[in-house]
């Protein structure tokens, strides 16, 4: 069992991933800007995963108490949210799930990121952490839907091989998920871009499509 802390874990993606990891037997801490919101979100997850250990609090509490930190705060809030957590994240695996995305005329688009990607920005803001990009392509609605296999791949990008392996093992704890090594952290921008495309596909086809890499055993 691993203690996993979610930064900005009160949104759909945070609660969805927290729910799946709680079902897999991990201890989950849901963080938020306020303790009250973190506790409320934790109660929602705990209600659906009755045998799991799920608690909530402020982001700083989640980061300091966790063994692995998962960033589910929106990309637009990263620059303000992460710097105060630097010390708490030092030496830890930090998983970035954020996707830079805006909507223009109802159409999703991906703005330029100075660092290259949301994951690379997270690494710049948390220089003492081992940041890995993963889980960007898993839809929140499907994660929260129930304990059904997802039949999807999670592409894991990072510069530290041990951190990537640890994130990959965590991904495989979600039923029906396979982890795929996506290369260095630099490649996270391509994975994030897939999510922007998926939003359009899912809207047109009215589905919850994900990613599966063909040709791998």
CA dihedral (199, 205, 209, 214) in degrees, to 10, reads -110
Over residues 190-209, the pLDDT tens digits come to 999 999 999 989 999 999 99
Share of the chain above pLDDT 90, in %: 90
d(CA 47, CA 182): 35
Lookup result for tokens 């938020």: 32
What is residue 107's predicted lDDT score, i.e. its pLDDT?
82
pLDDT at 217 over 90: no
Kindly report, residue by residue over 110-145, the tens digit of the pLDDT: 898 999 999 999 999 999 999 999 999 999 999 998
pLDDT tens digits, residue range 35-80? Answer: 999 999 999 999 999 889 999 999 999 999 999 999 999 999 999 9
Checking if the pLDDT of 105 tops 90, the result is no
Could you tell me the pTM of the whole model?
0.96
Tell me the longest C-alpha to C-alpha distance in the chain: 46
Q: What is the mean pLDDT of the chain?
A: 96
Measured in residues, the chain has a length of 217
Fold of 3-205: Rossmann fold (3.40.50)
Percent of the chain at pLDDT > 70 equals 100
The whole-angstrom separation of Cα 200 and Cα 109 is 10
Domain ranges of the chain: 3-205
Nearest one of 60, 69, 75 to 115, comparing CA atoms: 75
Query: Distance between CA atoms of 73 and 132, rounded to whole angstroms?
Result: 15
* Position 108 confidence tier, pLDDT thresholds 50, 70, 90: confident
């Amino acid at each position: 069992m691993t203690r996993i802390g979610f930064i900005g874990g009160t949104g759909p993606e945070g609660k969805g991933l927290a729910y799946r990891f709680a079902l897999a037997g991990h201890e989950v801490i849901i963080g938020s800007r306020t303790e009250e919101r973190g506790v409320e979100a934790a109660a929602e997850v705990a209600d659906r995963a009755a045998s799991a250990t799920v608690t909530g609090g402020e982001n700083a509490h989640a980061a300091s108490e966790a063994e692995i930190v998962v960033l589910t705060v929106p990309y637009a809030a990263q620059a303000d949210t992460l710097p105060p957590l630097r010390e708490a994240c030092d030496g830890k695996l930090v998983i970035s799930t954020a996707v830079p995305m805006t909507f223009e005329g109802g159409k999703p688009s991906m703005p330029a990121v100075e660092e290259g990607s949301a994951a690379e920005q997270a690494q710049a803001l948390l220089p003492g952490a081992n940041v890995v990009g993963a889980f960007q392509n898993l839809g929140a609605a499907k994660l929260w839907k129930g304990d059904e296999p997802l039949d999807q791949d999670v592409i894991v990008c990072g510069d530290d091989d041990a951190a990537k392996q640890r994130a990959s093992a965590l991904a495989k704890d979600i039923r029906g998920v396979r982890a795929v090594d996506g290369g260095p952290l630099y490649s996270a921008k391509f994975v994030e871009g897939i999510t922007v495309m998926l939003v359009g596909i899912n809207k047109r086809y009215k589905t919850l499509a994900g990613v599966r890499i063909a040709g791998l055993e």
